[in-house]
Structure formats: structure tokens, C-alpha cells
């Protein structure tokens, strides 16, 4: 039996983590014999074969207004009943399945914002959009990889606990490990990035520099003892506005030690060439980059607000800064990890953990949930 599936996302760009996961789930459903159309406000990147892609006019003055337009147009495009399951990767009403890639907005506001913020039009709109998905009468099921967010959604929206499907992470292990760079390629890459033979390469990965905490990483770099700082290069992988961070690096006196390389399709070259992953985000419901680095043997320094930080602790594959965040603690851990004799043990622990724990099953499990809902919907119709 062939089922017709409609996916919807506000924006697709090639190097977005959630966007890549969406496409992998779509391609898995297609491989299982089903048909998938993706609706989006903008598709920026290669258009894969076998997937129907439809761009909608969602231009608006604000992101939440754009999402409202996306919701209306997606509803109009799918209301004829030609689809067996509607799967959302953006919070809009009328979904059968929602992939919860973002943390609970209501909980985050309660934890970090004051009462005045909750009176703003932005808050009211984003709260309304989240409530439309997670309200108990929405009929929506949820794909959740940040498991600790489940209780937050239930607390704020009284969501049906039975509608949550807790999934394993979705690291693409084959992609990372099938073409490992050799020692000579690693040596040349480190040299090209300005790393001395006895130097250190610290890696920062993320396409939203502000959310991922690039300013925190730069300050940690600037706080290193002078001799150690000169031997270190901070390599920034990702696409975003560089000028504010260039200015900060210049202010910290580390402009010559920071290398921006843009988005990269072959991330394993960086994971295998680096000495440490530095990932101190302000908001991070999951943090797949932590797991990617770990299974490549790269020690990780991150913060406890990352949904996947517990894997680093359980594997003993690096260090995790406690909450509330303290820049001085990050600075100290950064210097300590660069010089620690334990770096070899952290590498081995991360690789071993990836061999024994399921960090890879998200795509298959998500496809099963989607197809099961499609079967149920068609029977109902």
C-alpha cells in the first residue's frame, strides 16, 4: 500500500540540522515505497530526486507572521484529503505528526524572561502557535528526541502523554565514518588552518552563531593563558553574519587566531582533525553535533542545557559546564581540556560509547510512526 505524505517546514537550507533530519526521514519514507511532498516558504539548496517540493509565499514582517501564512497556505494545499499524513517541522495547527526539534517555548520564556516580555505581540503569537500544536485536543502526535522536554509540554499545555514518541538520536554514522581522512590529509588540513605541529585546533560548529554561543567560545579563547592562546586556533564552521564576531575577536585580541570556514558538507574532516569541540549554546534542545564529534573520537566541551549533554557525561568523553552558565567555568574547562593528559581517554571513551549505545535510530523510528499514522488516517477516512 502506497501512502501520500505531506511535510511542511518554514525554511529549508542545506546545512540546518533539523532540515537535514527532515529530508532523511522523507527519503526513508520514499525508500519504503511511499510518496512525499515538502511544502516550505523557501528551499535553499539542491533539490533531491523523488521528492515533490513546493515553495509557498510566506513573506511577512515577522517570523511568527510568516508561520501564520505558512499554516494557511499549507492547509489550503492539503485540505482536499489527498494526503494520508501531514507532518510538520514548524509549529502550525492541523498536523498529524509534529517533529519537536525546538525546546518548549513556554517553559523557556518562564525560565529566562520577565513578565513584560509575556505582554509582547511576539510572545503571544509564538505561544499561540505552540499551543495549537500541543493542546490535548489537537490530535497531533509528537516525535521527540529531547526527552526531557516532554514533561514541559505536558505541564504547560496538558498534552496527552500517550501522543509522545521518544526517539533515539539520528546521527548519520555511515556518512561520518565511511571516508575517514588519513594522517597526511589531517596534517595538511591543520597546516592550512594555521595550526602549528605542536598547536591545538578547537572546533566550533553551528549556523546560528548567537544561539550556539559563539561569543562565549570567543571569550573562552581570549581568556587562555598567552602562551597557550598563541598555539591555538578556533575554527568556526557554519554560515551566519560574521562581522559582530570579528569585532569581538578583535576586541579580545584574538582576530588572527579565529578562522571562519563557512558551512561544510564533509564535517568528518574537521572532527578528525580537531583536538576539541567547543559548544556552549544559549539554547540547545538536543545537540547532534556533540554526538557526531564524540563518535569520531573528538573530546567535547559543552553546557548542561544541551539535551544531549548527558551522553558526554555518561560516556566520559569530555566536560560539561553546569547551570546556570558561568563564563569563568567555561574558560577554566577550555584551558584544562586542551592540556589534559586525559584527552586520549576521552577519545577512546567516545568511540566506545558510540559502538554500544543507539545514537542512530531516529530516522527509522520516525518513519515507522509516520506510516502508522498514515495507515490509521486512511482507515478513518
Place of cell 537550507: 13
Q: pTM of the full predicted structure? A: 0.89
Q: What is the pLDDT of residues 325-352, one digit of tens each?
A: 999 999 999 999 999 999 999 999 999 9
Tell me, what's the pLDDT at 14?
A: 86
Q: Check if the beta carbon of residue 134 is closer than 8 Å to that of residue 157.
A: yes
List of domains in the chain: 4-168+361-380 (3.40.50.2000), 173-356 (3.40.50.2000)
Among 208, 191, 190, 362, which residue's Cα sits nearest to residue 291?
362
How far is C-alpha 134 from the geometric centre of its chain's CA atoms?
A: 21
Tell me, what's the pLDDT at 15?
A: 82
pLDDT mean for each 10 residues of the chain (381 residues)? 97 90 97 98 94 96 95 92 95 97 93 92 97 97 95 98 97 90 95 96 95 97 97 96 97 98 93 98 93 97 95 98 97 98 97 97 98 96 76
Q: Check if the beta carbon of residue 351 is closer than 8 Å to that of residue 295.
A: yes
Reported in sequence order, the residue ranges of the chain that DSSP labels E, i.e. its strands, are 4-9, 12-13, 35-40, 43-44, 52-55, 85-88, 97-100, 141-144, 164-166, 200-205, 232-237, 258-262, 276-279, 300-303, 318-321
- Tell me the three cell numbers of residue 240: 551566519
Cβ count near 297 (within 10 Å): 20
Tell me, what's the pLDDT at 178?
A: 86
Distance set, CA 338 to CA 34, 275, 306, 332 (Å): 49, 7, 21, 10
Q: Check if the beta carbon of residue 255 is closer than 8 Å to that of residue 277.
A: no
Distance CA 126, CA 144 (A): 19
Type and span of the H or E element at 197: none
Tell me, what's the pLDDT at 1?
A: 93
Q: What is the pLDDT of residues 32-88, one digit of tens each?
A: 999 999 999 999 989 999 999 999 999 999 999 999 999 999 999 998 779 999 999
Tell me, what's the pLDDT at 17?
A: 86
Amino acid at each position: 500500500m502506497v501512502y501520500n505524505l505531506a511535510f511542511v517546514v518554514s525554511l529549508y537550507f542545506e546545512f540546518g540540522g533539523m532540515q537535514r533530519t527532515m529530508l532523511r526521514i522523507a527519503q526513508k519514507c520514499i525508500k519504503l515505497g511511499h510518496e512525499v511532498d515538502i511544502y516550505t516558504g523557501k528551499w535553499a539548496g539542491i533539490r533531491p530526486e523523488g521528492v515533490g517540493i513546493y515553495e509557498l509565499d510566506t513573506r511577512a514582517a515577522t517570523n511568527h507572521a510568516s508561520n501564520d501564512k505558512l499554516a494557511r497556505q499549507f492547509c489550503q494545499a492539503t485540505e482536499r484529503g489527498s494526503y494520508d499524513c501531514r507532518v510538520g517541522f514548524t509549529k502550525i495547527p492541523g498536523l498529524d505528526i509534529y517533529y519537536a526539534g525546538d525546546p518548549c517555548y513556554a517553559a523557556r520564556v518562564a525560565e529566562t524572561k520577565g513578565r513584560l516580555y509575556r505582554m509582547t505581540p511576539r510572545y503571544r503569537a509564538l505561544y499561540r502557535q505552540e499551543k495549537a500544536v500541543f493542546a490535548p485536543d489537537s490530535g497531533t502526535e509528537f516525535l521527540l528526541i529531547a526527552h526531557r522536554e516532554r514533561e514541559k509540554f505536558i505541564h504547560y499545555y496538558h498534552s496527552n502523554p500517550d501522543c509522545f514518541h521518544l526517539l533515539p538520536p539520528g546521527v548519520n554514522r555511515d556518512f561520518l565514518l565511511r571516508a575517514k581522512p588519513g594522517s597526511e590529509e589531517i596534517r595538511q588540513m591543520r597546516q592550512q588552518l594555521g595550526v602549528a605541529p605542536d598547536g591545538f585546533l578547537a572546533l566550533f560548529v553551528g549556523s546560528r552563531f548567537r544561539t550556539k554561543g559563539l561569543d562565549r567560545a570567543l571569550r573562552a579563547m581570549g581568556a587562555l593563558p598567552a602562551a597557550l592562546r598563541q598555539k591555538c586556533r578556533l575554527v568556526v564552521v557554519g554560515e551566519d553574519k560574521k562581522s559582530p564576531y570579528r569585532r569581538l575577536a578583535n576586541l579580545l585580541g584574538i582576530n588572527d587566531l579565529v578562522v571562519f570556514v563557512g558551512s561544510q558538507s564533509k564535517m568528518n574532516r574537521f572532527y578528525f582533525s580537531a583536538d576539541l569541540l567547543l559548544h556552549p549554546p544559549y539554547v540547545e534542545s538536543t545537540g547532534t553535533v556533540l554526538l557526531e564529534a564524540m563518535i569520531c573520537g573528538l573530546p567535547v566541551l559543552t553546557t548542561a542545557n544541551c539535551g544531549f549533554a548527558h551522553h558526554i557525561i555518561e560516556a566520559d568523553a569530555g566536560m560539561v559546564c553546569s547551570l546556570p552558565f558561568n563564563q569563568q567555568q567555561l574558560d577554566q574547562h577550555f584551558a584544562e581540556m586542551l592540556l589534559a593528559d586525559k584527552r586520549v581517554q576521552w577519545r577512546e571513551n567516545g568511540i566506545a560509547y558510540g559502538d554500544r549505545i543507539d545514537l542512530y535510530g531516529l530516522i527509522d523510528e520516525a518513519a515507522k510512526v509516520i506510516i502508522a499514522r498514515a495507515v490509521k488516517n486512511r482507515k478513518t477516512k
